[in-house]
Amino acid sequence: MKRISFIFIIVVVTFSSLISYAQESTYFVLGENQLSNTSIYSVCETKNDLVYIGTDQGLFVYQHGSFVHILGAEEQHGNSLFNLKVNNEGDLFCGNLRGQIFKLVDNKLELFYALPKKAIGLDLRYEFDNKNHLLIASFRQCVSLDSSGVPSVLYSTENGISGFNKLPDGRVLFRTMTNDSLIFIDEGKVISEHFSDEDNNNPYGNSIHGLNGRLINFLPNGKIQKLNSAELDNRVKPVKNERYVQFSSDVIWALDHAKGLRKIRIGNQNILSVESRMYEDKFISAMYQGKYGTLFFGTFGEGLIVVPNQTTKRHINEESFSANGIAVDNNNNVFLSTRDGKVLHYNNTTEIIENIQGKTIEKIFHVEGFDFGYNELFPSIIYGGKSPDSKSYEIGSIKDVYQADEQNVFIATSIGIFKKGTNICRYPIC
């Protein structure tokens, strides 16, 4: 069956207690208690809108209001997992510091590839290129793996490589440790460009990114080095030992080695500047930006910080109420279910689209193109308190929803499983 698409479900979240500072976005925390002794190393959201975290205790997925542990591979050395990445087909991969790369298959990890012992370095760097090949960087080589895990050497040098990263246009880029060449992997082809580092910068710990056509190298000493001829007016104050991540062509996120992070943007007139500083009281260990613009920040022992998309943030800032669930459709309409029996719709303005007296509406779901018969204005949403087709037919509190095909959806509730097709019926007595 195909899992329906939704951004995330907030379980028993009081929006009036969400944290907001003058210079920061409103956010909430997932797993604050459950992950109090857990270090998050990596975060990723898959195509079916599930959020995974790689931690010192293994791989977890957020489902049904909590983080669920994923079974590790038999060959796995240690529990710690890093570098969660999704390939072009939506498959999830992760790795460890022992040179092992794993693939998530049927909700458990399987060993996909293991680097030879002599190729294992201080960290494991890999990216998927624009042909969906897995590229792995060891100290002296870049290896390409096909879909079956068969390796081939793309590039090799005795001098070593540094700054392995994927650019917004899909190319993978690294540089030689001798600071004389930039190496691009594009459509499976290796392209070498001569580069002269007049300042003789330290080649270790480089982080190379593409910002609106400009190749920029963020150095460990905090300095920023331009790697091509495009104009750049750099107004960013150097900060040592930041970690840099990128999810769009105009923004770099700089995670501090101690606490907080900076949002660095290239704007008009080629000006590179710090747009904002965030969470200066927290150590941010990892970051991911979801496809709907939701931001996820990993921590050590403080759970997963979630900053909803801009529409949801505006809604939260304007309203103060206790909400149980949230769903967003493809037109960016936001729907929230509340403890006092209301369903709210938000799209620049707020309106109550359901009010069931004496009922607590828990979760709310959206299935694009499906008519549940719940709400005349928005037929593709479903929530507890009543059932499709008839308000007198009680189906209990809705826990989860799965779309089997275009005509049928299964609804898991507190009193059983129901199937909604032309009519509603209790499964399997349909």
The pLDDT tens digits for 143-158 are: 998 877 888 999 998 8
Question: Is the N-terminal amide bond of 308 cis, ω within 30° of 0?
Answer: no
Same fold for the domain at 29-306 and the one at 312-426? yes
Q: Where are the domains of the chain?
A: 29-306, 312-426
CB-based contacts of 312, cutoff 8 Å, min separation 6: 326, 328, 334, 346
Superfamily classification of domain 29-306:
YVTN repeat-like/Quinoprotein amine dehydrogenase (2.130.10.10)
Which residue type occupies 392?
Answer: S
Residue spans of alpha helices (H) in 145-256: none
Phi-psi region of 348 (alpha: psi -120 to 50; beta: other; left: phi over 0): left
pLDDT tens for residues 259-308?
Answer: 999 999 998 888 999 998 989 999 999 999 987 788 999 999 999 998 87
- pLDDT one-digit tens code per residue, 314-351: 444 445 556 677 888 877 788 888 878 888 887 767 78
**What is the full per-residue pLDDT of the chain (430 aa) written as tens digits?**
333 333 443 333 333 334 443 345 567 788 999 999 999 999 999 988 899 999 999 999 998 778 999 999 999 999 999 999 999 899 999 999 999 999 999 999 999 999 988 888 777 899 998 888 999 998 788 999 887 788 899 999 888 888 899 999 999 999 888 877 889 999 889 999 887 776 766 667 789 999 998 999 898 888 888 888 888 899 999 999 999 999 999 999 999 999 999 999 998 888 999 998 989 999 999 999 987 788 999 999 999 998 876 545 444 444 555 667 788 887 778 888 887 888 888 776 778 898 887 777 878 888 888 888 888 899 999 986 554 444 445 677 788 888 888 888 888 888 888 888 877 788 777 6
Measure the N-to-C terminal CA separation of the chain; round to a whole number of Å.
18
Instruction: Name the DSSP class of 15.
Output: G
**Can you tell me the distance from the alpha carbon of 148 to that of 230, in angstroms, rounded to the nearest whole number?**
40
The sign of the torsion formed by the CA atoms of 325, 67, 113, 141 equals positive
Which long-range contacts does 332-337 make (Cβ < 8 Å, 24+ apart)?
333/378, 335/364, 335/366, 335/378, 335/381, 336/364, 337/361, 337/362, 337/363, 337/364, 337/383, 337/384
Domain 312-426 has CATH 1.20.1250.20: no
